[in-house]
Amino acid sequence: MGKVYAKYYGSPVGIIEIKGTQDGILSILYVDEWEDGTAERLPACVEQCAEQLDEYFKGRRTKFSVKVIPQGTDFQKRIWSSLQAIPFGAIRSYREVAAATGNPKAVRAVGQANGKNRINIIIPCHRVIGARGDLTGYGGGVWRKKWLLEHEKKIIPGDIK
């Protein structure tokens, strides 16, 4: 893996740190502080990611095209791939995600994989809820999960990327 670059984006749910290399995005995480950047040129994928997040928060994007490079076990990567198949604005239970990956008894493992997801929003772990419809755990805080789900419900298909 090459040099890792960071860019910060001020979103409606707080500061988001985007980290990536020339090859793709490594993480999209919520942070408490905006760190001073350098004057060096950022890789195109990092700039593109910030632009796509901005479009998402402005209600003009429902799918992301930026390349992501998830870092995890094969099982975690299968779960994260399954999360990316959840349609925009839809929700799934942990049990449904486990079943979709061929292991319906792996509910807790799905929860643990969600907790290890470092590419928030693009790998939409916020779309996974408890069996009774409760908004269980989210690394960025349940209030952010609620905000993201409500935001996606408000978006009406139309002139959206």
Give 161's pLDDT tier (boundaries 50, 70, 90). Answer: very low
pLDDT in tens, 64-122: 999 999 999 999 999 999 999 999 999 999 999 999 988 889 999 999 999 999 999 99
Instruction: Write down the pLDDT at residue 35.
Output: 78
Instruction: Write down the pLDDT at residue 141.
Output: 86
Instruction: Write down the pLDDT at residue 160.
Output: 41
Instruction: Write down the pLDDT at residue 137.
Output: 77
* Among 66, 97, 110, 125, the one annotated catalytic: 125
Q: Is 112 helix (H, G, I), strand (E, B) or coil?
A: helix
pLDDT in tens, 40-70: 789 999 999 999 999 999 999 999 999 999 9
Residue 110: closest CA among 137, 133, 87: 137
Give 159's pLDDT tier (boundaries 50, 70, 90). Answer: very low
Residue 125 is among the residues annotated as catalytic for this protein: yes
SS3 of 70-106: CCCCHHHHHHHHHHHCCCCCCCEEHHHHHHHCCCCCC
Which tops the pLDDT comparison, 161 or 30? 30
Q: What is the pTM of this model?
A: 0.90
Domains of the chain (ranges; CATH) run 5-57 (no CATH), 74-154 (1.10.10.10)
Q: Is 37 helix (H, G, I), strand (E, B) or coil?
A: coil
